Structure 1
Amino acid sequence: MAQPEAASETHGSAPAPRGNTRRGTELTMLVFSAAIVTVAIMLVEISQENTVTRQLFYYGAAYLALFGGAHLAVRKWAPYADPLILPLVALLNGLGIVMIHRIDIASGSSYTIRQIVWLTLSLVLFLLVLIFVKDHRLLAKYSFTCGFVGLALLALPGVLPSAISEATGAKLWIKIGPLGVQPSEFAKILLMVFFASFLVSKRDLFTTAGRKFLNVELPRPRDLMPILVAWAAAIGIGVLEKDLGTSLLFFGIVLVMIYIATERAIWVVLGLSLFAGGAFLAFQLVGRVQDRVNGWLNPLSEDDTVYQLREALFGLGYGGIGGTGLGNGSPERVPFSFSDFIVTSLGEELGLVGLMAIFMMYLMLMMRGLRSALAVRDSFGKLFGGGLSFVLALQLFVVAGGVTGLIPLTGLTALFLAYGGSSLLANYILIAFLLRISDAARRPQTPAKPKQQQAPIAEAHTELVERPR
């Protein structure tokens, strides 16, 4: 009886190789992240309260429970995903909660509890995406729906009354009672789904070269329509919403995905030239954009419109290279230091060294995402993963550049660090998609079943079959 079983195993299909999922590495890095966050919040408590309060244990337990659950979800539904993505996100999110708690102590507010509630809801969405989106390629089937809904969400605050959409001069919100949602955070993911699918199906449209000018191959005029439509939409949204930050993010996503699809730098040069002209047009038409640009050019003026930027720059200067130490600075004097200006709050107390370490974590997160995008086997996954990874760096550049005076201020917030429900919800969905692509890229391929070769009829053995009586 043993011989037939062995023969059946030999000729049957071989099982898929298990491979090393590296989930143990992920768990170790999550524990390391929890240790850093715990020490950081203890330093804040000791500096501000001269003791360790009970809240520290509540926050620590919530942090461990939430990310422990996220780890179990990845272990079950995306076992081959990159082991560093979730720990990097957890550490960034944890440092953001530490700084929000530090500002709460100084100002008497309660944003930390609300941020933990938003984090809980975000991880629930994270879990649902991993459960129900088992293959990222399914998203391509709904690309046009995603594109339509994304554009609608992007433009909706601009056409709504200012009473329910405007905050600090920009129309970026939809406010319902005490709650507010920033639709552009969700629109960026939906639009990336559409652009990735569109570029896969229309790649030849962008790779065909036209005439040469100064030894540069220009696109054909008839092929410029998609990028012109994207440019017009970006500038129109900037004028409607009185903010160029969202326009820059939206148009930057379009450009980088076209570049990934075509590998032709001329599209980037052409796109940046178009955006520069459109930004100048918006500067002429929108007073808020003029105020932001003037404040950027004169950040130390006595004008009230640059008070936030001026105080933030003074705080960075006060922190210097090594920082004042957690809990020893005065970041709370800057309005919105827990949200729009949390980067400068961290820079004041952690110094240039600490801020560069945080930027390096974002860079590592982007690199791990790009590595997964390069390794995945389908074109849609490559473009979608590349777009998801690049938007992490682009949004950080727009936010950090604005609060440090490199570029004019925008209404965007630092991913995972800043207080905000919309940002956390959308960005954890983004991370779930990135983990799904990473899982597909790292998953061992199932070997094909060997074809059983049948002997020719002439060589087949004769079998004697007894007729039943």
Structure 2
Amino acid sequence: MSGFTPASSMPVFVHRSRRGAELVLLILALAVGIGAYAAVGLGVQEKIPVDIAGYGTWLVALLVAAHIGVRLLAPYADPVLLPLVAMLNGFGLAVIHRLDLAAGASESDAFARQQLIWMTIGVVLFLVTLFVVPDHRMLQRFTYTAGLGAVVMLILPMLPLIGKEINGARIWINLGPVSFQPGEVAKVLLVICFAGYLAVHRDALALAGRRFVGIDLPRGRDLGPLLMMWVISLAILVLQRDLGSSLLFYGLFVVTLYVATERKGWIFVGGVLFAGGVFAAISLFSHVRVRVLTWLNPFDYYPDPLNGTSSGQLVEGLFGMAWGGMIGRGFGSGEPWRVPYANSDFIIPAIGEELGLTALLALLLCYGLIVERGLRTAIVARDDFGKLLSVGLATSVALQTFVVVGGVTGLIPLTGLTTPFLSYGGSSLVANWVIVALLLRVSDQSRRPLPTAPSDEDLAAEETQIVKLDKGAMTK
């Protein structure tokens, strides 16, 4: 009995909220964002921007408000996600400001100022989401409502009055003076719909049909949801001319389906269906074929376009990244404005030209950490819906980053998507802040300590107190 340790002396596990660690990381993120803003002024104008005090105060106020909101509403949430997002958003603002200076934009027309306003809206919705959704499991009740809302959002750009076509893609709607991309909202709604549906039907979808080349293929009767999502993706590709959104939505569903069922057959069937659909679209529709040709042979269509479609963006971006090399030319020493839409679709080449491959790898590492923290949240989630919701949200960030970076580096055809948190784009920025809020909500629910059962000593003390009360009542 000498080796026996009494229960009262054994160490007790204490759940830590880690909000202090989050605050320290947020300070580092603010240093990166504000420091990059100052570096842009020094590199381009040879002086620190005159508005850096106001800009820094605004940025600090936003992120402190976000931190306080997490501390009060989700105290056990992941401590790394918010600082990573804050760093990317702040750094993106500095790069957009650098491009504004190159374009000679006035203060009222500056994209960086507009992006800061969108960031403010995103942080407000971030806090609203944490407040309105105290438990992520309540979202499962809106599975089919979210799916219907997503379909409506995808149809809106096709309407004649409010739909708007920009750069060949009809993915925008006009809301007065503001243009909005409803596909970003549809992305979040589809994740909720997929997670809710698969949490209920995962067992039926996990049943294997025939075996082919060592892969258990799904049963034919279970292919309905996959075929429906395939049709929707092809409709987006053909009608809206948006390969990026098509790949994002379809890949999101297939990955979530694979995680829910743990069947490789779904990946195989999904990949074959998507490849066949893309091949058919290339064969039947000229605008898809032109986009693929300018991707395969970019230098053949620069500067001479093919059917009005030029590869100038891709070629200039590749030249810029090659000129930047490992450490870049430095802020103010490059020519990133040569690339059209450098502040949105092509912000990655702009960063690569002036800060080099080293900075790009650091940014990709940050995105990898965001995805890793999202998947870690899925692993520790205590319910199926929370697991699938976290996987879907993390996958949306991963796929969007892959589609953008793959497009600007020539790995896949160019798309109209923006780099999450980094590029200029209000609808994308706001939607991604909501995604982070939902991930933090699932993380808080998963890391929160469970209610503990009363110990034997507590039960004995309670029983003694009851006996004393009974004796006192009998005495009276």
- TM-score normalised per structure 1: 0.91
Distance 2:130 2:88 in 1: 21
Distance 1:465 1:135 in 2: 44
For residue 325 of structure 1, report the CA deviation from its aligned partner: 1.3
Larger RCO (alpha carbons 8 Å, 6+ apart): 1
Contact in 2 for aligned 1:81/1:435 (Cα 8 Å): yes
Q: Which residue of 2 aligns with 1:281?
A: 280
Distance 2:473 2:350 in 1: 87
Unaligned runs of 5+ in 1: 1-15, 456-461
Aligned residues: 448
Contact in 2 for aligned 1:162/1:171 (Cα 8 Å): no
Relative to structure 1, is the Cα distance of residues 447 and 243 closer, same or farther in structure 2, using a 3 angstrom cutoff?
same
Q: Which residue of 1 aligns with 2:9?
A: none
Distance 2:345 2:96 in 1: 12
Task: For 1:161-172, list aligned pairs within 5 A.
Answer: 161=160, 164-172=163-171
Q: Which residue of 1 aligns with 2:467?
A: none
Q: Which residue of 2 aligns with 1:194?
A: 193
For residue 185 of structure 1, report the CA deviation from its aligned partner: 0.5
What secondary structure does 1:166 align onto? strand
Task: For 1:64-79, list aligned pairs within 5 A.
Answer: 64-79=60-75
Q: Which residue of 1 aligns with 2:251?
A: 252
Relative to structure 1, is the Cα distance of residues 447 and 293 closer, same or farther in structure 2, using a 3 angstrom cutoff?
same
Unaligned runs of 5+ in 2: 1-11, 464-469
Contact in 2 for aligned 1:41/1:56 (Cα 8 Å): yes
* CA-to-aligned-CA distance 1:27-49 (integer Å, 9 cap, x gap): 10111111122222222111111
Q: Which residue of 2 aligns with 1:458?
A: none
Q: Which residue of 2 aligns with 1:440?
A: 445
* CA-to-aligned-CA distance 1:266-291 (integer Å, 9 cap, x gap): 11111011000001122233332222
Identity of aligned residues (%): 46
Contact in 2 for aligned 1:195/1:254 (Cα 8 Å): yes
Q: Which residue of 2 aligns with 1:46?
A: 42
- TM-score normalised per structure 2: 0.90
Distance 1:465 1:69 in 2: 54
For residue 90 of structure 1, report the CA deviation from its aligned partner: 0.4
State the 4+ residue runs in structure 1 displaced beyond 4 angstroms: 449-455, 462-468
For residue 132 of structure 1, report the CA deviation from its aligned partner: 1.0
For residue 103 of structure 1, report the CA deviation from its aligned partner: 0.4
Q: Which residue of 1 aligns with 2:150?
A: 150
What secondary structure does 2:299 align onto? coil
Contact in 2 for aligned 1:40/1:326 (Cα 8 Å): no
What secondary structure does 1:427 align onto? helix
For residue 162 of structure 1, report the CA deviation from its aligned partner: 8.2
Of 233-242 and 97-106, the range deviating more from structure 2: 233-242
Of 174-183 and 256-265, the range deviating more from structure 2: 174-183
Q: Which residue of 2 aligns with 1:27?
A: 23
Q: Which residue of 1 aligns with 2:127?
A: 127
Contact in 1 for aligned 2:162/2:173 (Cα 8 Å): no
Distance 2:446 2:475 in 1: 56
Task: For 1:449-468, list aligned pairs within 5 A.
Answer: 449=454
Distance 2:291 2:373 in 1: 34
Amino acid at match of 1:388: L
Relative to structure 1, is the Cα distance of residues 266 and 465 closer, same or farther in structure 2, using a 3 angstrom cutoff?
closer
Distance 2:409 2:348 in 1: 9
What is the CA RMSD across the aligned residues, in angstroms?
2.2
Contact in 2 for aligned 1:80/1:438 (Cα 8 Å): yes
What secondary structure does 2:92 align onto? helix
Q: Which residue of 1 aligns with 2:102?
A: 106
Selected match of 1:431 from 427, 433, 436: 436
Amino acid at match of 1:30: L
Q: Which residue of 2 aligns with 1:357?
A: 362
* CA-to-aligned-CA distance 1:386-435 (integer Å, 9 cap, x gap): 11111111100001111111100011100000001100111101000000
Of 175-184 and 67-76, the range deviating more from structure 2: 175-184
Contact in 2 for aligned 1:164/1:176 (Cα 8 Å): no
What secondary structure does 1:165 align onto? strand
Distance 2:139 2:473 in 1: 55
Relative to structure 1, is the Cα distance of residues 106 and 265 closer, same or farther in structure 2, using a 3 angstrom cutoff?
same
Q: Which residue of 1 aligns with 2:313?
A: 308
Contact in 2 for aligned 1:244/1:279 (Cα 8 Å): no
